[in-house]
Structure 1
């Protein structure tokens, strides 16, 4: 059944041609009916309504205006990049890097970390990497750290032998314990915040090294079909830097 509810209406007499009333009716009929533009989302809006409003704005402002972008995506995807980024709400890679739908196969987690090849411990990460490299044939994997990262701060704050405060967080960030050891050894005289900033980049390098333990990644890199890139997004100062993993 259609969702349209049609109500009966009373017919009005048709004005005679040439009359001022007829001219007014013709003028009204020629004007196209326009829907009011969607209102921008409000922070005070109900959480579900915020999602609906946000999608409607996207559909009106982007999706409906760019059929040349979205039509091909209905048939499949062929992204250039695989992007690992932090789950931090301030660091959306599609926004900060201007990535369009279809450009990047993206994984976000605490501190954008990648564990080493392990068929039992890191299967979620491993399956995403395998699909991106073996099925989608991405040509570049980018791992992006960022300023004031809570995961990095947690890693640097952890004391050996102390009890964990979370069910999962501490065990996860221990992936980059080698980076923490390096920072402690080389930068222990620096203030804590400066150590965190250095560790943000060092942790990215550990994840890049861990990527090379995946046999299909190692093979693609050796054959020149895949590049591994590190990145750091400083949202405090509005800076973004990259480096290629050797």
Structure 2
């Protein structure tokens, strides 16, 4: 469910409740002609509505409402499409995006189910090939490229990324304050070094914005360390792209990574 749809429903429900409460209050203010029993019932109803209006967020209800909306407006509305998806997936994209709750690619780029195989992590990073570490990311790349044969890999950075801020804030002495975050964002250290070298006079916020884009380029370079990615690029069966979503200004930047890789020659 889209966030704006949810907010719209919440606003609508809230305004309807407020209207009902105000109407009952006006009715109570003019008790002439109302018997005591009716007045008492209206007072109780008003109190119940006010209590309902201030209920805490119910995660189970939110999940149920979200699925019901999906079922009605998508699954039941397009049965042939979802029947086709049940037979298998053939996505055109492998997308790396940040775990940030504000930047869902399905929402920002309007991907339908079946269009994009996705990997989301802190700061949308792709580590270099390493069978001893980061096997989760490696498995995603291997499956998407070798078995799903995706035609495009898109790495999306975004504005005000907390992961990039953590990277740019790493102390020079190597000390850490987190169990996992610091070690993970160190994947982007080459991007940080480039930013600090080329934009040394920039503010911290400006450096972070530069690094949000440079880390995407670093991830694109790291993708070349995976043999199946190199093979697909050499056979012109795969394209690599970088993207940047600025949710402050509502813009999306897109660029291609053109690496000149020739097919392997067996001698």
TM range (shorter): 0.7 to 0.9
Gaps of 5+ in 2: 1-7, 14-54, 259-267
Question: Are positions 1:214 and 2:213 aligned together?
Answer: no
Question: How far 1:69 moved relative to its partner?
Answer: 1.8
SS at match of 1:241: strand
Q: Matches of 1:142 and 1:122 in 2, distance apart? A: 19
**Which of the pair is proportionally richer in helix?**
2
Question: How far 1:160 moved relative to its partner?
Answer: 1.3
Question: How far 1:184 moved relative to its partner?
Answer: 0.3
**1:49 corresponds to which residue?**
61
SS at match of 1:74: helix
How many pairs were matched up? Answer: 209
Match among 82, 85, 90 for residue 78 of structure 1: 90
**2:115 corresponds to which residue?**
103
Match among 196, 205, 208 for residue 208 of structure 2: 196
Question: How far 1:52 moved relative to its partner?
Answer: 1.1
TM-score (norm 1): 0.82
Gaps of 5+ in 1: 1-38
Q: Matches of 1:227 and 1:93 in 2, distance apart? A: 18
**2:248 corresponds to which residue?**
236
Contact 1:81 1:139 in 2 (8 A): yes
Q: Deviations over 1:36-71 (max 9, x none)?
A: xxx946894311221111101110111111113211
TM-score (norm 2): 0.76
Q: Matches of 2:191 and 2:174 in 1, distance apart? A: 19
Q: Matches of 1:143 and 1:165 in 2, distance apart? A: 28
Q: Deviations over 1:114-135 (max 9, x none)?
A: 1000001011000010000000
Over 3 Å off, 4+ runs: 39-45
Q: Matches of 2:232 and 2:241 in 1, distance apart? A: 14
> Superposed, which structure 2 residues align to 1:114-133 within 5 Å?
114-133=126-145
Question: How far 1:155 moved relative to its partner?
Answer: 0.4
Match among 56, 64, 74 for residue 76 of structure 2: 64
Contact 1:83 1:144 in 2 (8 A): yes
Q: Matches of 1:58 and 1:223 in 2, distance apart? A: 39
Kindly report the root-mean-square deviation, in angstroms, between the aligned alpha carbons of the 2 structures: 1.7
Q: Matches of 2:223 and 2:68 in 1, distance apart? A: 38
**1:87 corresponds to which residue?**
99
Contact 1:178 1:206 in 2 (8 A): yes
Farther off after superposition, 40-49 or 66-75? 40-49
Question: How far 1:161 moved relative to its partner?
Answer: 1.3
Q: Matches of 1:118 and 1:92 in 2, distance apart? A: 27
